[in-house]
Structure 1
Amino acid sequence: METLHNETTISLAQLLAHWQGHRGLTRRVIDAFPEDQLFSHTIGGMRTFKELTMELNSMGATGAHGIATGEWKELNKLPGAAELDVNPKTKEGILRLWDWSTDYINNVWPQVHPTRLQETDKAYGQWEGPVWWLLYYFIDNEVHHRGQGYVYLRSLGIEPPPFWDR
């Protein structure tokens, strides 16, 4: 009998909870922005927070889909996404897309096989590495861009949500 050796020290459910904790916090950062500043405020040549959140929106559901299925699709090509506004012009639209992506992640995540994290894949045809590394990249990228959002909010005189409250 062949025994499956699994070196995972954290469960898939724990990884999902960790990722969704970050997503929930990032959502609160988006929501803290005044509508006009979300689309226009920049410092030092950085992109607007709308642009940063759209990058994150383009990677959340599609990243979870890729991890679960090995298929790296564009956001509007995911199942159930045909009617999505993938270029929202309002904060409400950004949050609606964020919430859709959050739900999509939760729904596709049960398809992830535990051994999948140890496989090598090439996300979006450009980033090759172990699937666990790709997932960490998605989370790290979100934390990085959320940090930019914190700087923007503070420069606008707005207290951002506590970073530890995930």
Structure 2
Amino acid sequence: MENNFIYSTDELKHHWQGHRGLTRRVIDAFPEKELFSYSIGGMRPFSEMAMELIRIAEAGMEQMANRNLDPSGQLHTGAKPATKAELLDLWDKVSEKADLLWAKMPPARFRETEKAFGEYEGTVISLMQYFFDNEIHHRGQGYVYLRSLGVEPPPFWDRY
């Protein structure tokens, strides 16, 4: 089967991990209290958005790599992080796990159809792009929060 990707699968993983690194720096830029409590216009605190991204990355990659469906997206069953350090530690563990799971996927897997979380059907590559887009969307919300708190967010173009 011909590989018609613009990126190699390794380059695509590097691209995603660049986004994950930037989102990690956004998490780290938050003052401790506001990370877990600050909200604008009824949006969730950024820690809750980060937990959504953690669940999507962990459960989504588990499903894409091992075909293990967890419709709840709740693979992380440990205690919810209560501090910024705990949240960053969990973020790092999930990033490492995503790398290991990614390595298990042959290029042909990206063209296969999957139903993410038992609900969203598409090719693995399209589902992965959703994971990336969702993270970028929530990171943008984090930028708004940080700016409203008077905190300069990390440069959005510096993903590595």
**Shared fold (TM-score, shorter chain, > 0.5):** yes
1:58-82 alpha-carbon deviations (Å, 9 max, x no partner): 1112222222122133323xxxxxx
Corresponding position of 2:95: 102
C-alpha distance in structure 2 between counterparts of 1:133 and 1:75, whole Å:
21
C-alpha distance in structure 2 between counterparts of 1:8 and 1:29, whole Å:
30
What's the secondary structure of 2:58's corresponding residue? helix
C-alpha distance in structure 1 between counterparts of 2:47 and 2:155, whole Å:
20
Corresponding position of 1:70: 67
C-alpha distance in structure 2 between counterparts of 1:34 and 1:124, whole Å:
33
Q: Percent identity?
A: 53
Please say if 1:26 is aligned against 2:19: no
CA contact (8 A) 1:85 1:93 kept: no
Instruction: List alignment gaps of at least 5 residues for structure 1.
Output: 77-83
Letter in 1 for 2:93: W
Please say if 1:157 is aligned against 2:154: no
Aligned residues: 156
1:50-103 alpha-carbon deviations (Å, 9 max, x no partner): 110010011112222222122133323xxxxxxx73511111111111000011
TM-score, length-scaled by structure 2: 0.93
Call closer, same or farther: CA 1:109–1:100 in 2, change over 3 Å: same
Letter in 2 for 1:157: G
C-alpha distance in structure 2 between counterparts of 1:45 and 1:158, whole Å:
20
C-alpha distance in structure 2 between counterparts of 1:8 and 1:160, whole Å:
33
Please say if 1:121 is aligned against 2:114: yes
What's the secondary structure of 1:128's corresponding residue? strand
C-alpha distance in structure 1 between counterparts of 2:79 and 2:15, whole Å:
25
C-alpha distance in structure 2 between counterparts of 1:101 and 1:132, whole Å:
19
Q: RMSD over aligned Cα, in angstroms?
A: 1.2
Determine which of 52, 56, 60 is the counterpart of 1:59.
56
TM-score, length-scaled by structure 1: 0.90
C-alpha distance in structure 1 between counterparts of 2:103 and 2:139, whole Å:
27
Runs of 4+ in 1 over 4 A off after TM superposition: none
CA contact (8 A) 1:85 1:97 kept: no
Q: Give, in angstroms, the shift of residue 108 of structure 1.
A: 1.4
Corresponding position of 1:79: none
Q: Which has the larger radius of gyration?
A: 1
